[in-house]
């Protein structure tokens, strides 16, 4: 299935940058930035345009195709949306694709992002509809689907996936992939995260997940969404080279490059390059 739609040894590389961090009102059980966290991280204001552009240039120099900008909160404030739109326009001028994750959107906000030239919007469903309320209570599964509906209305590509290892069952993992595959059209990018337990959060000591179940979820994603980019996202720092290799063999063909994914550590660029070299993988050219 992978070979029918993609060059099999080609990997898409993106960079994730947190442009506003900490102090979130939402209660996502896995998140270091949530109000549930008993060990809150430092709250920072919205990054200035110059710092965002400097990060974008570094990402382009490292071979990335896309800059993904993460923003903490239930949704973007009116005050912050205008400078975020400016960031989108200026990053595109550098020659990168743009992606933002800003939480829940209104229809008008989605329209404004489209006007700024946004390419992708990340809005994960996180887990299955059945398990969702065990993880988050301040926004519903249907709230997330409504935001995706607005994005599609204005022709913005969707990056939508979930998190494994939060205590969900294999049936929940299957249900999550079915929910993603039932989106019409399929998300262009499907990030699959392995939970990074954060001290102070309700999920700081989750049940151990079987590595092969993670790989099977990658494979199921590839089979059910054959033209989507399946992205290995959070959790890669703790994954062995062998587990990475199984995931790529099962159909994963995208990663986040860089030392940080919002607030958690990521595999180093040097390690990724060594692994790519040993497996005969190469990055997708812009």
Positions marked active-site? 24, 28, 31, 68, 99, 159, 231
Q: Which pair of structure tokens corresponds to residue 285? A: 């050219």
Among left, alpha and beta (phi > 0; psi -120 to 50; other), residue 201 is beta
Of 215, 217, 272, which is closest to residue 243 (Cα–Cα)? 215
Q: Which pair of structure tokens corresponds to residue 161? A: 């996936």
């Amino acid at each position: 299935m992978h070979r029918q739609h993609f060059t099999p040894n080609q990997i898409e590389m993106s960079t994730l940058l947190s442009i506003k961090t900490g102090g979130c009102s939402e209660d996502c059980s896995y998140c270091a930035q949530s109000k549930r966290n008993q060990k809150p991280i430092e709250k920072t204001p919205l990054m200035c345009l110059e710092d965002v552009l400097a990060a974008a240039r570094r990402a382009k120099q490292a071979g990335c195709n896309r800059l993904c900008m993460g923003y903490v909160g239930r949704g973007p404030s009116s005050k912050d949306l205008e400078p975020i739109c400016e960031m989108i326009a200026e990053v595109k001028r550098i020659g990168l694709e743009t992606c933002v994750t800003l939480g829940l959107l209104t229809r008008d906000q989605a329209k404004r992002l489209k006007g700024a030239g946004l390419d992708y919007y990340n809005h994960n469903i996180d887990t299955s509809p059945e398990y969702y309320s065990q993880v988050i209570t301040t926004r519903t599964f249907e709230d997330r689907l409504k935001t995706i509906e607005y994005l599609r209305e204005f022709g913005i590509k969707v990056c939508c996936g979930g998190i494994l290892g939060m205590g969900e069952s294999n049936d929940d993992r299957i249900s999550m992939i079915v929910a993603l595959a039932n989106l019409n059209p399929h998300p262009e990018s499907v990030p699959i995260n392995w939970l990074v337990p954060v001290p102070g959060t309700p999920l700081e000591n989750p049940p151990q997940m079987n590595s092969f179940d993670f790989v099977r979820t990658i494979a199921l994603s590839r089979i059910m969404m054959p033209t989507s980019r399946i992205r290995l996202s959070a959790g890669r720092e703790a994954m062995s080279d062998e587990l990475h290799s199984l995931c790529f063999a099962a159909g994963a063909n995208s990663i986040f490059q860089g030392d940080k994914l919002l607030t958690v550590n990521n595999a180093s660029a040097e390690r990724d390059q060594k692994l790519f070299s040993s497996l005969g993988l190469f990055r997708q050219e812009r």
